[in-house]
Structure 1
Amino acid sequence: MSWSHYLLQVNIYLVVFYVFYRLLLTKETYFVLNRVYLICSGIFSLAIPFIQLDWFSKQEISQQIYVQVEQLNQLITQGPVVAETQSFNWGSLIVLIYLSGVLFFLSRFIIQLIGVKKMFNGLKNGLAFSFWNKKIVAENLPDAATVNHHEDIHIKQLHTFDVLFFESLGILTWFNPIIYLYKATVKNIHEYLADEAAAKFQGDKEAYSMLLLNQAFGVNVNTLTNGFLKKSMIKKRIFMLYKERSRKTAIVKYGIFVPLFALALLLSSSTIRKNEQLLAAAEQVQLEEAKATVAEVLNLKPERSVEVVIGEPIVRFPLPKGTKAVDGINSFYKYLGNTVKYPSLAAENKVQGNLVVTFKVIDRKTTDIKIETKLGAGCDEELVNRIGAYKEGALKDGNYSLKVAFMLQGSSAPFLNENAKNKANFISLNTISIVGYPFEADEVHSFVSLENPPKFPGGIDDFYKFLGDNIKYPEEAAKQEIQGNVFVSFIVERDGSLNHIKIDRGLGYGTDEEAVRILKLSPKWEPGTQNGKTVRVKYNLPIKFSLNKRQTGAVKGIRIESQEGAIKLTGDQIVLRGKDFEDGKSPLYILDGEILENGRISGIDPKTIETINILKDDSGVALYGEKAKNGVVIITTKNAEKVVTGRPSKKPTQR
């Protein structure tokens, strides 16, 4: 069997199997089975021409078919014999065109592989894709966790294998339009599988669909990768996400294909493989002669294999090329990747570039660390300190040279020491890239992503105490029995002040205004810091408004609680709870500026109370002496005369 005859059969089977797929399976949602079918179609198309079922071709029915076909050919081809002339060899031209196509698509494939490597080594802003067991998911993408899970599915299910298989098959059968349908169909199935899992991970198909639509104008990445942002497939992916799942009876279709495939195999053994017309057409294509001609003209050399080495999304640490992997090198790379930080001074001054450091390993310890090519702005010191602190002892003894690239994401600042190289006569390690972000004084940071978040003086408990001491339940909200959370957001400025206070979700009836009022009274916070610099931070906070009622439902009250203690007014009584008011430790009561010597507060009508303040620790003792060592409860009624804060009034209170 000649190569041309084999190639012809392969393409016939590819067409037959894909037609079966389009007719029977394309609308089914058994994506895993569809994927298996397409891969098997490609493999069987390559294998069937080598399968010879002689027992079938020797049967009488097949022999009779051969006789009839041969007789028919004789009847058709009988006629005057024309002397063969030396005409142009169309077969050779076809071969030359075919081989040119193979070379073109092979070169394109290699360029794409190189492109994949560059993608992993380049900037990753706004990208999300995977290749083999590596992935890139840009941190600036919306709902990056869901996108990350999407790419994990591509990796776990080995989708890159399918892509490379059909790309390789496409090089051999580039002239067959069906192969491009195989490629597109397989990639669609990959996305359907990943979308199905990612939607379950997110828990909301509608939200996931909106995530896909938001990326509809994203950047198309290399065709060899499994990319989340391929805009040409968005519509199909959303359609399949909502498509009703196929019934179990649809699996019968996959079962029907088995006898169909067996029939195609038998017919190929008895007809296609021995068909005289196909053999004659194949003989016209002298592939070996054409290959020799093309090789002579182009002086072809063996193609070099391409190694794609990929590291982590932000800090990359591939193994060295051209040398054997050093024991423990991965551990060293991971250590640097987890510890080296972009110096704040360099980020603030937009310093980026290469530096080269050399060091020795003696008895598994790093010594004699030197900066051969300096970058400055704290980068040199950062790297020297991190290498000097490496204690795992996984590197072999020797002299090492390492180039580190400090790069600012999206910065147009000049890249310094661009041509820096590792020092000669040292073991050259692969370049490590540390990606940072330019410092922006006006940038508002997220609370959860900050190194040192802002905090209220004294901590969160003191903040809740501040709220409890100062907040007032709006009268209208109390009348209407309005309860619930008011969700507030604000920005903690670099000086600790609160700004841009707004209601994200309110209750109304004066509760929203009260929440804003109390936050405007807040003292300055301790500002948040990032890379040693104070930054603006957005803070989200729920403030709870809660009404307490007796079972009779006659009276409304106010409840202020914290982890340290609580005071509760409900009905016609006041109840104090918490660790500071238990075990017989009675606080000192101040009613409208006067001390209640007997501590009896049960007679106070909660309806008449305007404010309640609680003093603890030394603040109460400083005002009222040792009698206030268990705390002070300052109660002011609506009819009371104004008093100096915390001090008894000089005038008698009217009650």
Structure 2
Amino acid sequence: MWNPLFIWSLKAGLILSFLFAAYYWLFRNNTQFQLKRVLQMVMLLAAINFPLIKISVSNTTIPTVYAFQQLDNSLAKENPVPTSTEALLPASEIEIPVSEFSTVDIIWWVYLAGVCLSALIILIELAKLSYLRFKGSRKLNLGENVIGHPSVKYPFSFMKWIFVPTDSDYSEDDWRIVLAHENLHLQQKHTLDILFASLAQCMLWYHPAVYLIQKSMKANHEALADAAVLASTPYNQYSKTLLALSLRTNTLTLSHSFSLISSLSKRLKLMKIQKTSNQKTLVAAIILSGVISLVAFESMVYGQVDSRDKKDNSSDLILDESMRILTKVPIRTDSTKDIEGESSILKSIKLMVFVDIWPSYTNLVEKLMATYYSDHPKEKRTFVIDLESERKVRYGQNEKLEFIKELNPTELEQLYTESKNYLDKLNYPNRTTIRIADKEEFARQKYLIITSYKLLATSDLKFKYNQIFQPDDVDVKPEPNGGIEIFINNIALNTKRDDSLNEKDIPEKIEFEFIVNREGNITQLNLISKIKGNRETQEKLYSLMGEINRNILETSTKYGWKPAIKEGANVGSIYRISIPKSLL
């Protein structure tokens, strides 16, 4: 998964490239230097902020919950759901190797290394400037803010200081021009612009546009200082001083140097150019403002229209769309049960299935759709994004493995945050509180697995997918494969009772209620029997009930269920199972 910071840098760099191209075309020979300075900062701020701003273009909806599958910690996962038209076959289990580093990871680490290297270069330059400031001596005859140091070979300014060589032989007129020029940089705080651009360059180090705008900024700062000095100094004298003090050496990127030879010809030409008219500048500014507004709108709206808002938000799982994306989220539920007039909290780990709440993987699934299923537009298929603690996949005949990857801590953190944000919006009736699994539990589910299975056409269904019937409302009640008697005996045989638990404290029959959906899978498994006794007895009984709960799930997964039938169609139905105490 691409890191959000890297994605931001790509977007910011593209925006900056586009804006700078428009700026260069409109303002490269413009002499309104103060306006150009403002526009340069606006472009940088726009490039940095536009990718971060999102506008809502759809109605706010709470994600529809399509399935509620209760699992115990001991269960690795449920069997994925095949369609009702295909036979349930024993699940296959495969193990697929996952490489330690993907191409995406390598690109991310290269980008991060570039950021760190760029930041290190800036810190080194700041350290050099600090050294010159504290080790240099003040030249009070030139000014209170003038610092001299033997290692300084040319005049330059930074923040509120002007640095000069200690052994220079400049004339009095040269000093006057140099100090006037550098003081203009200090008065207008040009260093702040350069520092801000340098920070942007750290994050966008691989984009040429950020270096071009840095160069343009410095050239514009020099033009501002030149124009101010020329107001009181003849052109011939000023140009002579520039040429006499011209430098062929490299300078510190964070400072402003008086006369670098690389920019002299352009500066001298700019001093003699006719001032740009206000009318021409206004037209150029309006055009550039329109370009910035267009880029702002496109960058904020592009990709923000969630395709889910264009779909039918009814409670049907099987809709008319040819493809759907489901997401399994590890959660915990705290359900309140009455125990002899008192309340007790029962906690269990569950999986809850939502429609596509991990946008970071939507593009990946869409690529899978476009790559492997574009030739079958009429094939209805659901993609399931699941998290697992082991690199193993279990699926039936109708399922297909599409993708598997081991997530790094940053990717898990992002999925955790996205899941938590969605769950925080959900409100549930009764006395059940649903929350995301603890961070530690969530982080253990580090393998992201994408599978897919075919969907039934809506026209083939007589009843809605999530329509649940009472036992008396169906023609044929649900039944486990092999019969209910064998099913109950298997549960009892696999249940180990605590020897210290008194038999008289166990209810005569232990009842659980659950839903057998139209595919023959059980969901929403709940204990119906009331538990009595003191606190110690209750704890032992709940331990026993928990084991029975696990055995019901494991046995159902192993043997499967025949769903209820109504009017010749498979439907979901409530089922209550009763386990006699005598079998335990």
TM-score by length of 2: 0.42
Greater Rg by CA: 1
Structure number with greater CO (CA < 8 Å, separation at least 6) is: 2
